[in-house]
Amino acid sequence: TCGRTMLSRVGRFSATNEVIGKVPKCTQDEMNSAVESAKNAYNSWKKTSPLARQQTMFKLRELIVRDAKKLAENITQEQGKTLIESERDVGRGLQMVEHACAVPELMLGETLP
């Protein structure tokens, strides 16, 4: 990026309008690459066994619990919610992940490939 102008999007703390970050805008090629990467990840994920998926979700749960305070602070900065509202949002997200962790135990009968 040295010597060239780069377009970016500015993120602001909604309560104070303070700039909290800049994110460069991507090119069409970068967007296409991201979409292709997401398609490949989906194709890989759908071939993953329920137990392996469960282990991934357990790890996600662990990370959310570990970083819950920082996640809530980020939500507050990005969306202007009160910290209590943001903490509740993180808690609801954690509940969804915990439900996903339980899905393999909830699966009954045959599953289709």
- Indicate if 7 and 23 belong to the same structural domain: yes
- Indicate if 91 and 112 belong to the same structural domain: yes
- Indicate if 61 and 85 belong to the same structural domain: yes
- In the chain, the number of structural domains is 2
Provide the residue range defining the domain that includes 42.
1-47
pLDDT at position 12 is 83
Strand-strand pairing, 18-24 and 8-13: antiparallel
- Indicate if 41 and 61 belong to the same structural domain: no
Q: Work out the average pLDDT over 32-51.
A: 94
Residue 111 has pLDDT above 70, yes or no: no
**pLDDT per residue over 65-76, tens digit each?**
999 999 999 999
Residue-by-residue DSSP string for 37-84: HHHHHHHHHTTS-HHHHHHHHHHHHHHHHHTHHHHHHHHHHHH---HH
- Indicate if 69 and 91 belong to the same structural domain: yes
Q: Work out the average pLDDT over 38-58.
A: 94
pLDDT level of residue 4 (50, 70, 90 thresholds): low
Q: How far apart are CA 99 and CA 53, in angstroms?
A: 13
- Indicate if 54 and 95 belong to the same structural domain: yes
pTM of the model: 0.75
pLDDT at position 40 is 96
